[in-house]
Amino acid sequence: MNILMLNPPFSGMKGRFSREQRSPAITKSGTLYYPMWLAYATGVLEKEGFSVKLVDAPANGLEINDVIEIVKDFKPSLIVIDTSTPSIYNDIKIAEKLKDIQLTTHNSQLTTVLVGPHVSATADETLKLSSQIDIVCKGEYDYTIREIARKIKNHPALMHKCGVDNIKGISWQKDGKIIHNPDRPFIENLDEIPFVSKVYKKHLDYTKYFYAHSQYPIVTVVGGRGCPHKCVYCVYPQTFSGRKLRYRSIKNVVDEMEYITKEFKGVREIMFEDDTLTVNRARCKEFCKELLSKNLKIRWSCNSRADVDFETLKLMNLAGCRLFCVGFESGNQQILDNMKKGIKLETMRQFVKDTKKVGILIHGCFLVGNPGETKETMAQTLKFAKELNPDTAQFFPIMVYPGTELYKWTKEKNYLATEDYSKWLTPEGLHNCVVNLPNLSSKEMVEFCARARKEFYMRPSYITKKLSQALKNPMEGKRISKSFIVFAKHLIQGSKKRKTKR
């Protein structure tokens, strides 16, 4: 039985649309994420013996007609389609077209399954959008897809019979009715899941993926799933991977890192996309000690909170940690408290001082528009960003997604400008803010972020620092040049637009 795992094209977008990032869009820096969760599920299916094809349309510039040809040739019985909030209408249309093509050309039943954080939070709403969508998977779907595939293999007319009643973690349609099965427990033994990097090597071209803050080429993995923190805006813990931390064994993680260094020619960095790799300090130190004992010559980066102690930072740097991606979010303590960040400004200041002392770089993320935000608090955030002076920084207006506490808050307060998910993006595919606060419009937040980026990056002291960094480290110079070429045009365009308005 053939199974197609599809990161679908996004029609009309003038760039590479990145579904899997926490705020799906075409980025100003040219960043493109791996379809990591599709790849993990692909590994589970292949381990089970299924014939699987993983197709990443955005990475390869494929349009719908290209995907149709793949379906005609491959003849899948099951298609699993990744989704996101801003692309959901597009994704459903593609599912409908592929189902029609399969029926027309092969006269065979095709089961369509949608996956991802958006449909996990909106299963009922999603299924009502199309009768051609058979199943929605809620949350982690590695084993859910495996169970669906087993059912289809044994009962090809699955959706015409009562065959999915006992599959946990799905919502589905039967005779015009939507049925919600019980949730599936989270996977506890993550070592059972094959290395995602082996799936990348078989199905994807790793040179297609780029992270602006990381060295190129890069390979992305996770060492664990789940996040215990309560940030109201963060989509993955609230809709997909849960609050409970679950880890791969350290041996399993290090073995995969060894595999990557051997099998991916020229790879410069491994990115750990765990929500927060540094939550468990003892495990983090054990991981670093294992890396040091193996003497692996590979740089790596990770997501982290701004609260790691100096001793752990020193050990991480010795073990090859190059960069942290950190959500500082705001320079106002009350705003941090309102978003349930659970951290103090002084803690973040000390963290930055310590990381600079040990030599780990920081990509700082700043987010405006959380509860209580005003023009004054936004100004404090920009001042805070300049004070911290991370290696790189991004400034975003608030992006709210179904299933999060923040989305519920904006709906209850009537702060959402629209519930048309396609409006979560601009016509160019860039992020678009759809939240209007009482004293702060979405337009004002977008304009602030454009100004903040320019003020942060165009400081003479910052430019001098980056030139020095590029001269001292040729690999950093290549990264800086590659990301700046893409990013600079957005800085320039933003300046032109503001001058025109004046």
- Letter for the amino acid at 248? R
- Weakest-pLDDT range from 94-98, 339-343, 443-447, 478-482: 478-482
Mean pLDDT of 131-154: 95
- Weakest-pLDDT range from 118-132, 443-457, 480-494: 480-494
Q: Decide: residue 124, CB within 10 A, 0-12 exposed, 13-18 middle, 19+ buried.
A: exposed
Coil, strand, or helix at residue 304? strand
CA triple 53-273-168, angle to 5 deg:
60
In the chain, domain spans = 2-180, 211-501
Query: What is the C-alpha to C-alpha distance for residues 247 and 280, in angstroms, rounded to an integer?
Result: 10
The answer for residues whose C-beta is within 8 angstroms of residue 466's C-beta and 6 or more apart is 480
Query: What is the C-alpha to C-alpha distance for residues 403 and 125, in angstroms, rounded to an integer?
Result: 12
Asked if the model's pLDDT at residue 471 lies above 90, the reply is no
Tell me the CATH number for domain 211-501: 3.80.30.20
Q: What is the per-residue pLDDT for 498?
A: 46
- Weakest-pLDDT range from 25-34, 51-60, 261-270, 323-332: 25-34
Quote the tokens at residue 485: 């070429």
> How many CB atoms neighbour CB 277 within 10 A?
25
Q: For domain 2-180, give its CATH number from 3.40.1190.20, 3.40.50.720, 3.40.50.2300, 3.40.190.10.
A: 3.40.50.2300
Share of the chain above pLDDT 90, in %: 84
Q: Cis peptide leading into 194, omega within 30 of 0? A: no
Q: What is the per-residue pLDDT for 379?
A: 98
Q: Do the domains spanning 2-180 and 211-501 agree at the CATH topology level?
A: no
Query: What is the C-alpha to C-alpha distance for residues 292 and 260, in angstroms, rounded to an integer?
Result: 17
Query: What is the C-alpha to C-alpha distance for residues 25 and 2, in angstroms, rounded to an integer?
Result: 30
Asked if the model's pLDDT at residue 232 lies above 80, the reply is yes
- Letter for the amino acid at 235? V
Smallest CA-to-CA distance from 143 within 235, 40, 246, 221 is with 40
Asked if the model's pLDDT at residue 479 lies above 80, the reply is no
pLDDT band at 487 (very low <50, low <70, confident <90, very high): low
- Letter for the amino acid at 53? K
Asked if the model's pLDDT at residue 231 lies above 60, the reply is yes
Q: What is the per-residue pLDDT for 147?
A: 97
